[in-house]
């Protein structure tokens, strides 16, 4: 029997950017999710359900503010990498980083003045507006640095940055929560803000250091900001509507059911989103590779990779779906057990969120994102309407169903735009179908056998060889 040539395998990985970057991003995502998986059971047991819900609500408010506070300037970085080369690109990064900091400080003042109204609406204490604003600014700087190193195709730098960021979060927040005698939610939120403050300082210093040898004029600054805002401003309605899809359920739950139910739902939602660790890792590597392959017309290769990866992702999501009760019992105490059906529904919806990123990538590649915001706004409207109807009827499970339907609609709209309006979309519908069938099968088995672990394990055992056979046939 011939032994595998290790050197050839290593050469294949090193010479294939998509493969090597994906492996690095997946490894880092696995480590990050591992950290989250370990700490979540601690937080859910040390904090009360209401305190856990308060943190989740505050994080949701932070996410909304983060969209506006730096005008989403980080969203221009990928496009800027195509337009700018070498030192010009680094100079561009320096300019938008300075601009983001100035805009963030200007935003912080009026936000602080209206903070009482924001926190009161979300049933939060007024003092929490301080860590919310600091964390929102920190999120923007995390995005700027992340997109910067991704655009430069430095997956190791991105992985190290993310890992250190997560370790700092645990190192600061967990001791603070454990040591706090009361208001453990305050301890965690102010801990998050402290870490984000450190990140803001790091990014400002690091970008300045990377660009200290570059001299650019005020005219270049104005030109760069004009270019960046031309791309980032149109993204704000899209991202805002997309965040509504992700977070509006918590708003309805906290208003209709209270912080305790937010805590239970948030634990289920976090578990349902677990598959995104692999999705996000792949998309980081996929987008630069896909843009290049699309430009050169390698459509067959694109479909081969897309179909294979989606089958693998569908299996990973299926593991979450089929083992939802058991995994939920690990990450949270029995008081959260009522959310097991929510995990299944959220995971199914999140898989369609994964699918929508493919046509969205095509829209971005073709520099035709004028329909992007419209699709997301329509989906957000559907989500709001469904939450308003289903939560009073079905509680937190109604929120999970609304999430699922909304993501299916989001995928359908973007695929229609890419295929019928922009046209010549180079990923076939056939590339989606097998993975959709796989995960739908997992949902059906899980729902009908929620209290029968053996039946769900048998379902997993059926899926794995089926997926391997499909991938083998694709490769041929």
Cα distance between residue 146 and residue 148, in whole Å: 5
Residues 6+ positions from 99 with CB-CB distance below 8 Å: 73, 225, 228
The pLDDT tens digits of the residues spanning 248-287 come to 898 899 888 988 898 889 888 888 888 777 787 777 777 7
Which pLDDT value is given to residue 19?
64
With 80 as the cut, is the pLDDT of residue 168 above it? yes
| pLDDT over 50 at 1, yes or no | no
Whether 67 shows a pLDDT value over 80: the answer reads yes
pLDDT, position 476: 56
Predicted pLDDT at 15: 47
Q: Return the pLDDT at 12.
A: 41
Model confidence at 4: pLDDT above 50:
no
Average pLDDT for 437-460: 93
**How do residues 143-156 score in pLDDT, each as one tens digit?**
999 899 888 878 88
Of 127-131, 208-212, 343-347, the least confident: 208-212
pLDDT at 26: 66
Tell me how far CA of residue 109 lies from CA of 83, 139, 272, in angstroms. Answer: 34, 18, 36
pLDDT at 197 over 90: yes
Q: What is the pLDDT of residue 215?
A: 80
Whole-number Å distance between alpha carbons of 317 and 350? 9
Residue-wise pLDDT for 5-47, tens only, equals: 445 444 444 445 666 666 676 667 666 666 776 788 889 889 9
What pLDDT is recorded for position 150?
84
* Alpha carbons 251 and 314: distance in angstroms, whole number: 29
281-325 pLDDT tens trace = 777 777 777 887 887 888 888 888 888 888 988 998 999 999 999
């Amino acid at each position: 029997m011939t032994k595998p040539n290790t050197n050839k395998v290593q050469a294949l990985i090193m010479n294939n950017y998509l493969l090597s970057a994906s492996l690095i991003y997946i490894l880092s995502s696995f480590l990050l999710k591992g950290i989250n998986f370990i700490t979540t059971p601690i937080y859910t047991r040390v904090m009360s359900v209401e305190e856990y819900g308060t943190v989740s609500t505050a994080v949701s408010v932070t996410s909304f503010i983060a969209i506006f506070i730096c005008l989403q300037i980080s969203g221009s970085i990928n496009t800027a990498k195509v337009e700018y080369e070498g030192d010009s690109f680094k100079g561009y990064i320096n300019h938008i980083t300075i601009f983001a900091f100035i805009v963030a400080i200007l935003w912080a003042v009026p936000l602080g003045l209206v903070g009482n109204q924001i926190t009161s609406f979300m049933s939060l204490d007024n003092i929490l507006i301080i860590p919310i604003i600091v964390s929102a600014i920190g999120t923007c700087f995390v995005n700027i640095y992340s997109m910067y190193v991704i655009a430069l195709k430095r997956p190791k730098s991105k992985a190290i940055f993310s890992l250190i960021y997560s370790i700092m979060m645990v190192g600061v927040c967990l001791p603070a929560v454990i040591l706090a005698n009361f208001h453990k939610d305050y301890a965690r939120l102010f801990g998050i803000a402290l870490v984000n403050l450190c990140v803001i300082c790091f990014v400002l210093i690091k970008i300045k250091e990377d660009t200290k040898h570059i001299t650019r004029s005020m005219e270049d600054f104005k030109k760069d900001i004009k270019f960046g805002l031309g791309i980032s401003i149109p993204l704000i309605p899209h991202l805002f509507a997309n965040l509504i899809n992700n977070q509006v359920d918590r708003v309805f739950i906290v208003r209709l059911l209270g912080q305790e139910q937010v805590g239970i739902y948030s634990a289920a939602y976090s578990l349902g989103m677990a598959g995104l660790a692999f999705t996000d890792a792949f998309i980081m590597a996929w987008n630069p590779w896909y843009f290049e392959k699309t430009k050169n017309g390698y459509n067959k290769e694109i479909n081969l990779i897309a179909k294979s990866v989606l089958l693998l992702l569908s299996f990973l999501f299926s593991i979450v779906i089929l083992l939802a009760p058991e995994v939920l019992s690990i990450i949270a105490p029995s008081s959260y057990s009522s959310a097991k059906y929510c995990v299944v529904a959220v995971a199914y919806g999140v898989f369609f969120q994964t699918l929508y990123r493919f046509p969205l990538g095509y829209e971005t590649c073709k520099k035709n994102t004028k329909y992007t915001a419209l699709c997301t706004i329509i989906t957000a409207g559907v989500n709001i309407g469904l939450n308003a109807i289903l939560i009073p009827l079905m509680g937190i499970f109604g929120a999970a169903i609304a999430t699922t339907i909304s993501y299916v609609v989001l995928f359908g709209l973007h695929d229609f735009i890419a295929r019928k309006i922009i046209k010549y979309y180079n990923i076939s519908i056939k590339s989606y179908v097998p993975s959709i069938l796989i995960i739908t099968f997992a949902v059906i088995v899980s729902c009908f056998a929620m209290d029968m672990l053996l039946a769900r394990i048998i379902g997993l055992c059926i899926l794995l060889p089926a997926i391997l056979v499909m991938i083998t046939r694709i490769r041929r």
